[in-house]
Chain A
Amino acid sequence: MLLVLEQILWTGFANATFYVLFTIAFAIILKVVRLWNFAQAGMMGIAFYTMYAMVNLLNWPGWLALVLGMTATVGAGLLIELYGLRPLRRRHSSSLMFFIYTLIFSELISYVLMLLFGTEPVTLFPSILSPVRIIGGIAVSDWDLTAVSATAVSLLVLWLFLRFHRDGQFLLAVSDNGELAELYGISAQRAYLVAMAIAGVFACEGMYLFGTRAGVLPTTANDLMLFAVIGTLLGGMGRLFAAAAAAVVLALVQSYSVLVIASKWQSLVLYTFLFIVIVLFPRGFRLPSLQRRRVVQPAVTEAKA
């Protein structure tokens, strides 16, 4: 029995990888651009189907498809920012307009994908099986190892970027106080573009991992987004790596719940979680540790929804 639990732990952990990537993509836009980026579902759709087309229609190798997929996704993100969000921002549009824009964008993409690729689930490569070896009694597949190492490396690179690279530091400055950053000559516009680019890279990476593991439909991204949203909320707005950790916890909770709950109720577990988070931990789950800075909470909060 213990072995089963350990197996679930490992597999759940490996499957958490793409959730972590989606969560980071969502969380970084929320942090820097202060936007609930529902257009991410559209970006994820573009990512997967671009790669899918390259592998299956053009017969190009996987790595090339990944690179080009990332380019396409980043491109889409930049276009969204430049031609969608920036004009809205310039016009001082309400949060409602931003929300409608991002939501409808994703809807548009899923309809276009439905038109182009139909409604049958497809995987990136014809086979989703990968060689498995037994380590300590647990089945560990090559996919598992690739996923975990790729995600870990990506998180490390992101952390280094935010910590040591100028653009990364600018991102943090803008997320902290956009107006103040402008006074110091830091371009908020540039920071938004960089954040979108990062979101694009992570979203595409996540879709590559997911798509080599399970079937994808034009509407799949919408379901995957739920994790990203809950993870971001649970981690607390503005805390990227806490959100990533939260995504892992959620994935594990979902994995273990298979033991007690029928699979058709799986997603309900998530929604219930979402509600609990909103009611009990609206500002994220905080461990009672030393706070570096206490954020001033105004009576009316403002973020573009």
Chain B
Amino acid sequence: MDYIYSILVLAGIYLALSASFDLIIGYGGLISIAHPIFYAIGAYTAGLLAVSWHVPALPATLCGGVLAMIASVAMSLPAIRVAGDYLLIASIGFQLGLLQVIKNVQFTGGDAGLSNIPSAIDGPFRSHVFAAISLVLGLAVVLLIRWIVRGPYGAIITAMRDDELALLALGRNVTRIKVVILALGSGLAGCAGGVYTFYYQYLNPSQFDVLQSATILTMVVVGGMGTSLGPMIGTVLLLGLPQAITFLHLPPSIMAPFQGILFCLLVLLFIQLRPQGIIAARRPQT
């Protein structure tokens, strides 16, 4: 029974991650693979604050989100100021480089990971409460992004995707808009990291590597970029498919790559046949 609740916790987290990534790549049209590292920064910050300074869960999570935001500005500002393409390269360097640091530095626990993170909630209903919190967070992220995108800021983001030069010539500071979008998306991912930390109470760097990028990317692309429902569909798919595969009773060494192959084929199929994803955005995205 507990098992179902842990799936729900993951669902909420993945929903937050995919919706915030969709803000960046779907609405903002920005190309970055560094989402998992901001998730990691949020998770590790929250975890370290709790372990070393006994900071309670909520402020620790918020700090994680803020630190993730700051880190994303450090990554994006130099790159975006040059030209759009360099963001991708900077994000690769940031994702891979910072992960190396986490893996090798003492105080994050290195390769062995960070453990003994105090639980924020105890008692027989722990899983239920966490599931509720996680799902609420996920939905809140989706709704926040939906609200922003439907307002005046959303019009500016769309204009930026349509014709950046024309928007610059109307006086909009496009660099700042891009940096802000990335910061918001990364901050939300950081908060999701906090939820993960306090539920599982153990962090390992391998959780946050480039393979996670592909996972989150899959959720967004297949679900449908630039929509509110898309990330939800993507999340259900991503959590549902592995469960479905377990019924095949494959040995674990085959399971992982098999799952990976399935997801990659799914993305490639969608790109070729239905690039807008399962839920097509009202306005053309690709």
CB B238 to nearest CB in A, in angstroms, measures 14
Query: What's the Cα separation between A105 and B168 when bound, in Å?
Result: 35
Asked whether A112 lies within 8 Å of B261 as measured between CB atoms, the reply is: yes
B265 near A36: Cβ-Cβ < 8 Å: no
Minimum distance in angstroms from A23 CB to a CB of chain B:
14
* Alpha-carbon gap, A267 to B100, bound state (A): 8
Instruction: Indicate if B170 sits at the interface (CB-CB under 8 A).
Output: no
Residues of chain A within 8 A of B217, CB atoms compared: 100, 103-104
Q: Which residues of B contact A100 (CB under 8 A)?
A: 217, 221, 267, 271
For A116, the closest partner residue in chain B by CB is B257
A99 / chain B contacts, CB cutoff of 8 Å: 31, 88
The reply on B253 being an interface residue by CB < 8 A is yes
Structural contact, A103 and B100, CB atoms closer than 8 A: no
Closest Cβ of chain A: how far from B31's Cβ, in Å? Answer: 5
Interface size counted on chain A using CB atoms at 8 A: 44
A258 within 8 A of B: no
Shortest Cβ gap from A284 to chain B (Å): 12
Which of B33, B85, B88, B264 contacts A111, CB < 8 Å? B264
B223 CB to nearest chain A CB (Å) = 13
State whether A274 touches B261 (Cβ < 8 A). Answer: no
Alpha-carbon separation in the docked complex, A87 to B271 (Å): 10
A299 neighbours in B (Cβ, 8 Å): 165, 168
Q: Contact between A305 and B257 (Cβ–Cβ < 8 Å)?
A: no
A96 touches B96 (CB 8 A): no
Identify which of B86, B93, B168 gathers the most chain A CB atoms within 10 Å of its CB: B93
Taking the closest CB of chain A, its distance from the CB of B152, in whole angstroms, is 23
Q: Does A115 contact B (CB under 8 A)?
A: yes
| Known contacts A99-B31, A101-B271, A111-B261; A274 and B93 CB within 8 A of each other | yes
B174 → chain A, closest Cβ, in Å? 9
What residues on B are CB-neighbors of A293 within 8 Å?
A: none
Beta-carbon nearest neighbor of B78 in chain A: A279
| Known A96-B25, A279-B78: A103·B104 in contact at CB below 8 Å | no
- B25 surroundings in chain A (CB, below 8 A): 96
A299 to B164, CA, bound (A): 9
Task: Give the shortest distance, in Å, between B245 (CB) and chain A (any CB).
Answer: 13
Determine if B253 and A303 form an interchain contact, defined as CB atoms under 8 angstroms apart: no
Q: Does A278 touch B at the CB level, under 8 Å?
A: yes
Are B214 and A107 closer than 8 Å at their CB atoms?
yes
Which residues of A (135-163) have their CB < 8 Å from a CB of B?
none
Q: Name the CB-closest residue of A to B26.
A: A96
Contacts of B267 in A (CB 8 A): 100, 104
Contact status B29-A271, CB under 8 Å: no
Q: Check B88 against A305 for contact (C-beta < 8 Å).
A: yes
Given A107-B260, A274-B89, A299-B168, A91 and B100 contact (CB-CB distance below 8 Å): no
Assembly CA distance A274 to B88 (angstroms): 12
Bound state CA distance, A105 and B264, in angstroms? 7
Which chain B residues lie closer than 8 Å to A233 at the CB level? 89
B272/A87 in contact, CB under 8 A: yes
Closest-CB distance, B38 to chain A (whole angstroms): 16
Residues in B whose Cβ lies below 8 Å from that of A272: 97
A residues 38-66 in Cβ contact with B at 8 Å: none
Cα distance, A101 to B270, chains bound together (Å): 10
Residues from chain A with a CB closer than 8 A to the CB of B258 are: 111, 115
Q: Which residues of B contact A101 (CB under 8 A)?
A: 268, 271
Which A residues between 183 and 198 are near B, CB-CB below 8 angstroms? none
B interface residue numbers (CB < 8 A to A): 25, 29, 31, 33, 78-79, 82-86, 88-90, 92-94, 96-97, 100-101, 104, 164-165, 168, 210-211, 214, 217, 221, 253-254, 256-258, 260-261, 264-265, 267-268, 271-272, 275, 285-286
Instruction: Tell me the A residues contacting B by CB distance below 8 Å.
Output: 36, 87-88, 91, 93-97, 99-101, 103-105, 107-108, 111-112, 114-115, 118-119, 222, 226, 229, 233, 264-265, 267-268, 271-272, 274-275, 278-279, 282, 298-301, 303, 305
Can you list 11 A-B contacts (CB < 8 A)? Answer: A91-B286, A100-B267, A104-B214, A105-B264, A111-B257, A233-B89, A274-B97, A278-B82, A298-B165, A301-B83, A305-B84
